[in-house]
Amino acid sequence: MPGSSIYARLCPGSKEENMRTHYTNGNALKYAKLCDGCDPHIVDGLYQHDPECVCSWQDDRYFCVNCGTEFMPDNRYDEHCSGECETQYYEGG
Q: CA 23, CA 6: separation in Å to the nearest integer?
A: 13
Per-domain residue ranges of the chain: 7-91
Q: CA 91, CA 93: separation in Å to the nearest integer?
A: 6
Q: Are strands 62-63 and 41-43 parallel, antiparallel or unpaired?
A: unpaired
Instruction: Count Cβ atoms below 10 Å from residue 52 Cβ, excluding itself.
Output: 9
- Identify whether the C-beta of residue 72 lies closer than 8 Å to the C-beta of residue 87: no
The per-residue pLDDT for range 6-32, each reduced to its tens digit, is: 344 444 444 455 566 777 777 777 665
The per-residue pLDDT for range 30-84, each reduced to its tens digit, is: 665 677 888 777 777 777 888 888 888 887 788 999 999 998 888 888 899 999 9
